[in-house]
Amino acid sequence: MSKPNPTDRKYTNEHEWALDNHDGTITAGITDYAQELLTDIVFVELPEIGKKVRQFERLAVLESVKSVSDVYTPASGEVVAINQALADQPEIINKDAFGEGWIAKIKMADAAELNKLMDAAAYDLFIKEETQ
Amino acid sequence: MVAELQKNKLMMKKTPLYDRYLSLGAKIIDFGGWAMPVQYTNVIDEHHATRNKAGLFDICHMGEIEIKGPQAFDLLQWVLSRNLEKQKVGQMMLSVLTNEHGGIIDDLTAYRLATERYMVVTNAATKDKDLAWIMKQKVERNFRHVEINDMSDRIGKIDIQGPVAQNILQSMVSDGLALLPYYHAVEASVCGMPAIVSRSGYTGEDGFEIYTDACAVGKIWDDILKRGAAWGLKPCGLGARDTLRLEAGMMLYGHELDETIIPLEVPYGWVTNLEKDFVGAEFLRKQKEHGVTKSLVGFEMLGRGIARADYKVFKDGQEIGKVTSGTYAPTLDRAVGLAFVPASCKEPGTQIHIHIRERYVKARVVKLPFYKRSR
């Protein structure tokens, strides 16, 4: 069973999370539910710092042994930091998707975009429906 | 997506072990119309279990065709690329089934169970067309004294693979396994059930393929799981089967092989005897004379990235071919793959690039297999 979804952040229906750092940036990653579906992640393609991204466009690519999956950005803006540790240890995402396994930090173009995302309770329900 | 899969599950064919792997928590995929386990825990753990201890695979989906009678040999000698003259009773042979143009209808193993009785083991998705093709050849060539029976629904098949496979299995089999040579089979009883056991497999490890009555396969599966636990045996899905076979440089029908591919373009020249007459032999002799223009090669990634099936291969800025299989290889801890390239680029060491999304990632042609077990 996946870990509970923290209530301090917002969620997309593609299973990404966005944590508002209250300095105009968010930290983005994938949910524990998503890492469980992907299983053993063996490769992460990170965006370059400075890259401009638009909400729900591709931010990164995760590969398990069997599959290739896109990670979409929860908000528009500019990539200001990437989790370089994932390049050598992609399995960090499997171990700690909500913490050490973060993927990138994005300086938001429009903080109001976060209102389009689900809160933890809505996302809990969303997963429940998807698995039934 | 999940809901769609649930719906499809109802329509997919199921092996006699389906309920067992559901209760083991397997993740199910549609593999050529069959509901098969892709993994139980995770692919990497199952891969390592097979390399280091043992893995147990449900292979009931594959096809078994019995061919018997005074002309059984003649028919097979005509439809298969391999020269079967020297095949002794108890020996199995890897071969390809070719059409008139030498195209590969299937790659399969032929077991000689008695002088006039064979069992041909086919891929799951190709079984029906193999059967139709063999029947057609029987009629066209007027082999009247041979009987062809599709046994696939009546036979259950499981593979136990890995360095301790023999330790686990030997006490459960009536015949001694220690003396059974590679690519040989015995008719024996396994857990009291009549079965055929061969020392063979699709992983690059020592191991056995077990054929038994579809009703008995569950009991054998249960017994091997129970006895194997202490040896570190794990049930393994098709995910690990794929990474294991790829590391061992083995081909997969539908990826490396299809009817547009001839055995001379892939590492199946050694199972193709152009001295004898068989369907497609004449065409293949001409092809050999003219020279074969493309070749299946192994490659390893030098840059960061994993090549996948259908990614394009480039050399010096020119597109030269296509990846047929690619993965992260757990035992090698690097990304490898198989690809078709022009014959002029097949030498190990040749530098190529694989087009991965927007990037051209460096790779190099290497000798197959990627992995060979130490004996």
ipTM of the predicted structure? 0.88
**Does the residue B119 lie in any domain?**
yes
Task: Output the six-digit token pair for B152.
Answer: 């696939």
Strand partners, B309: none
Output the furthest CA–CA distance in chain B (Å, rounded): 61
**Does the residue B218 lie in any domain?**
yes
Contacts of B47 in chain A (CB under 8 A): 65
Question: How close is the nearest chain B Cα to the Cα of A70, in Å?
Answer: 11
Contacts of A61 in chain B (CB under 8 A): 357
Q: Based on the fold, state whether residues B38 and B171 are members of the same structural domain.
A: yes
Chain A CB within 8 Å of residue B243 CB = yes
Rounded to an integer, the average pLDDT of B318-323 is 98
Which letter, b or e, does each residue of B159-185 get, where b requires 16 or more Cβ atoms within 10 Å of its Cβ?
bbbbbbbbbbbeebbeeebeebeeebb
Q: Based on the fold, state whether residues B243 and B163 are members of the same structural domain.
A: yes
* Total domains in the fold of chain B: 3
Q: Is the pLDDT of residue B261 over 50?
A: yes
State the pLDDT confidence band at B6, using cuts at 50, 70 and 90: low
On the question of a cis peptide bond just before residue B369, with omega within 30 degrees of 0, the verdict is: yes
Q: Based on the fold, state whether residues B302 and B374 are members of the same structural domain.
A: yes
Q: Based on the fold, state whether residues B53 and B162 are members of the same structural domain.
A: yes
pLDDT, one tens digit per residue, over B89-148 is 999 999 999 999 999 999 999 999 999 999 999 999 999 999 999 999 999 999 999 999
Instruction: State the residue for tokens 């077991």.
Output: B111
State the pLDDT confidence band at B290, using cuts at 50, 70 and 90: very high
The last residue of one of the domains, among B88, B118, B150, is: B150
Q: Based on the fold, state whether residues B37 and B77 are members of the same structural domain.
A: no
Q: What is chain B's percent helix, strand, coil content, to nearest 5?
A: 25, 35, 35
Chain A CB within 8 Å of residue B44 CB = yes
What does the alpha-carbon distance between residue A78 and residue A108 come to, in Å, rounded to a whole number? 7
DSSP secondary structure letter of residue A5: P
**Does the residue B205 lie in any domain?**
yes
Chain A CB within 8 Å of residue B3 CB = yes
Q: In this predicted structure, what is the pLDDT of residue A66? A: 87
Q: Decide if B38 and A66 are in contact by the 8 Å CB cutoff.
A: yes
The last residue of one of the domains, among B150, B173, B204, is: B150
Q: Based on the fold, state whether residues B338 and B373 are members of the same structural domain.
A: yes
pLDDT, one tens digit per residue, over A33-77 is 999 999 899 999 999 999 999 999 999 999 999 899 999 999 999
Domain that holds residue B312: 293-375
CATH number at residue B141: 3.30.70.1400
How buried is residue B13: exposed, middle or buried, by Cβ count under 10 Å (0-12/13-18/19+)?
middle
**Does the residue B336 lie in any domain?**
yes
**Does the residue B180 lie in any domain?**
yes
What does the alpha-carbon distance between residue B66 and residue B186 come to, in Å, rounded to a whole number? 16
Contacts of A82 in chain B (CB under 8 A): none
Q: Is the pLDDT of residue B4 over 70?
A: no
Q: In this predicted structure, what is the pLDDT of residue B80? A: 98
**Does the residue B259 lie in any domain?**
no
CATH number at residue B367: 2.40.30.110
Q: In this predicted structure, what is the pLDDT of residue A2? A: 82
First to last CA, chain B: 45
Q: In this predicted structure, what is the pLDDT of residue B322? A: 98
What does the alpha-carbon distance between residue B351 and residue B299 come to, in Å, rounded to a whole number? 9
Half-sphere exposure of residue B172: CA atoms within 13 angstroms, side-chain side: 25
Q: Rounded to whole angstroms, what are the CA distances from B339 to B94, B106, B269, B366?
A: 22, 19, 17, 11
3-state secondary structure of B366: strand
Alpha helices in chain A (DSSP H): 32-38, 85-88, 92-95, 120-131
Q: Based on the fold, state whether residues B343 and B208 are members of the same structural domain.
A: no
Q: Based on the fold, state whether residues B200 and B322 are members of the same structural domain.
A: no
Instruction: State the residue for tokens 């997919």.
Output: B12
Rounded to an integer, the average pLDDT of B30-34 is 91
**Does the residue B204 lie in any domain?**
yes
Q: Decide if A43 and B304 are in contact by the 8 Å CB cutoff.
A: yes
Nearest Cα neighbor of B284 from B96, B131, B146, B118 is: B96
Helix (H) or strand (E) holding A71: strand A68-72
Query: Quick check: A33 and A15 in contact, CB under 8 A?
Result: yes
Q: Based on the fold, state whether residues B88 and B126 are members of the same structural domain.
A: yes
Q: Based on the fold, state whether residues B49 and B189 are members of the same structural domain.
A: yes
Across B225-229, B252-256, B272-276, B371-375, least confident range:
B371-375
The last residue of one of the domains, among B191, B222, B247, is: B247
Chain B CB within 8 Å of residue A57 CB = no
Partner residue opposite B43 with nearest CB, options A43, A65, A68 = A65
Contacts of B239 in chain A (CB under 8 A): 65-66
Residue partners of B50: CB distance under 8 A and separation at least 6: B161, B162, B203, B205, B234, B236, B240, B244
Query: Quick check: B324 and B309 in contact, CB under 8 A?
Result: yes
| Mutation target vs A (from B27, B43, B46; most A CBs, 10 A cutoff) | B43
Architecture of domain A10-110: Beta Barrel (2.40)
For the four alpha carbons of B280, B281, B282 and B288, in that order, the dihedral sign comes to positive
Q: Is the pLDDT of residue B2 over 80?
A: no
pLDDT, one tens digit per residue, over B39-55 is 999 999 999 999 999 99
pLDDT, one tens digit per residue, over A81-109 is 999 999 999 999 999 999 999 999 999 99
